[in-house]
Amino acid sequence: MRKLFLYITLFMAVPMAAQTVYNVEDCRKMALEHNASIKIAKENVKAARSMKKAAFTHFLPDFSATGAYMWNEKTMSLFPHDLMLPVGVKQPDGSLGTGIGANSVPVPNDDGTFRFEDAAINNNFTIIDGQPVPLNADGQPFDPKTNPGDLQWKNHAILPKKAFEMDARNVFVGGINFVQPIFMGGKIKQMYSIAGYGEKIAQARSIDAMTDLILEVDEAYWRVVSLENKVKLAHELKNVVSKLDTNITALFDEGMATKADVLKVKVKMNEADLSIIKAENGLSLSRMALNQVCGLPLNEKITLEDADLDRNPDLVQVIPTEQALNNRPEIEMLAQVANIAQAKEKVMFAELLPTVALSGGYMATNPSAFNGVTKRFEGMFNFGVVAKVPLFHFGERIHTLNASRANKVIAALELEDAKEKIELQINQSLQQTNESFKKQMQTQKSMESAEENLRYANEGFTEGVITTSDVLMAQTAWLVAKSENIDAAIEVKLHSLYLQKSLGTLLSPISQNNK
């Protein structure tokens, strides 16, 4: 039995020795580092910043490279069949002389010039004395050397079909192009502005998420502080009632108290035990909730630095309403939404304006046709200006422009409505904070009076002039007064917190560093 008690004592001593004291700033910092929504908000800011950078690139030229390959079943030819092309030879006197045939060859003259003669006879011919002799147009044989004009090849050169075939069965095309916007009606500038507004919205959402998280952490923190004090109060009540129980039992043994008085105190003892159980269970659950939001193990028992509520609360510095509105992330988001609506109106107006862009590039093909049809890559540079003027779209762009103007008015109205509501929230929070301070002062006085009343009741009971019921009533009044004082102190903390949120000053330097 002693060993079991020793094991239990050691087991309970280890976690108590490892306890760490945290203040509210420590809990905020841990929550900001652990919470998934804060991490998501930060990533959204990074994404919005990248989108802004991407929108800026639209001011710059857009370069692209393209390539293609095509296989064709057949080749292409410029001629359906072989053709004959009429040709002639320039004579020394400047006249066009005998034509050049497909089988003509150059023969030098005595004066250094050349003449063309047929290397082979292509007229109809006959055999005379075993030799082929050409026939003229009348079918009579002639001597080509003395009568060259009677040759029948008609002074034509042959153009063979095969020489003009182009092998396009394997076609390769490649190029590099660029487009530089010159005038887009202001659309690119407005889209860049919209991306910048989107970045500011993401930052405001991140601040709003941090504010909500800090509010949640502080509420959980002060809930734990409240229940810790309620547990202490329950144990104090148990001690007070136990002392009364000891006294009433002694009086009953001496015959100076009735059994009813003893039973009344016993009931009060049971109520005190039950209040301790309820307070400790609530404290355990509240600690788990605080640990969860801070990213700590649920069963880890932590000690809070602000468990003592006797010190004076920190006063909230009240700032002008206009400054408070500028601090609120909700107003920042709505203001940027209004800016986006205004920019979209300008974008829709730009759809009615012409656009101008500069284009250029280099393109190469294989087969190439720049110097005959060759099986190699050859290319060329090209530059141009492209203009596009919208003419008629059945009023579609006008209707879209009107819709964007209506959205701009809606965004402005929502912004003004939010400002009015936040201004009302600030005044309500300020009034509630002041009321909580007054309530704390009143409960402090009530608690002092209840303690004094309980002291007189105990003295009167000892002297026999106060009944047990009066003492129990004094104890109840003392319990209620102290409990209300704890609640009032927590209300001061929470209402000060809510006032800071409404003023937009809730974020501490630690929180600002996490933006």
Query: Nearest-CA neighbor of 189 among 64, 304, 59?
Result: 59
DSSP string, 362-385: EEEEESB-BTBSBSS-EEEEEEEE
Query: Nearest-CA neighbor of 505 among 368, 364, 345, 319?
Result: 319
**Residues 295 and 31: beta-carbon distance below 8 Å:** yes
195 vs 512, which has greater pLDDT? 195
Buried b (16+ CB within 10 A) or exposed e, 75-86: eeeeeeeeeeee
Task: Decide if pLDDT at 11 tops 50.
Answer: no
The 10s digit of each residue's pLDDT in 454-488 is 899 888 888 878 888 888 899 899 999 999 999 99
Phi, then psi, of 489 in degrees rounded to 5: -65, -40
Dihedral of the alpha carbons of 479, 484, 485, 486, in degrees to the nearest 10: 90
**E strand or H helix that includes residue 426:** helix 396-463
**Which two three-digit tokens encode residue 144?**
């080509």
The 10s digit of each residue's pLDDT in 360-400 is 999 999 888 777 777 888 889 999 999 999 998 898 999 99
**E strand or H helix that includes residue 309:** none
The 10s digit of each residue's pLDDT in 282-324 is 999 999 999 999 999 998 888 888 777 766 666 788 889 899 9
* Choices 1.10.10.10, 3.40.50.2000, 1.10.3980.10, 1.20.1600.10: CATH for 23-56+185-353+392-513: 1.20.1600.10
**Dihedral angle sign, alpha carbons of residues 12, 16, 19, 21:** positive
- Per DSSP, the three-state class of 94 is coil
pLDDT value, residue 458: 86
Q: Which residues pair with 361 in a beta bridge?
A: 177, 382
| Residue carrying structure tokens 């006879």 | 121
The 10s digit of each residue's pLDDT in 54-81 is 999 999 999 999 999 988 888 777 777 7
Task: Decide if pLDDT at 154 tops 50.
Answer: no
Task: Decide if pLDDT at 40 tops 80.
Answer: yes
User: pTM of this prediction?
Assistant: 0.75
pLDDT value, residue 125: 67
Domain with CATH 1.20.1600.10 in the chain: 23-56+185-353+392-513
The 10s digit of each residue's pLDDT in 197-254 is 999 999 999 999 999 999 999 999 999 999 999 999 999 999 988 888 888 888 888 8
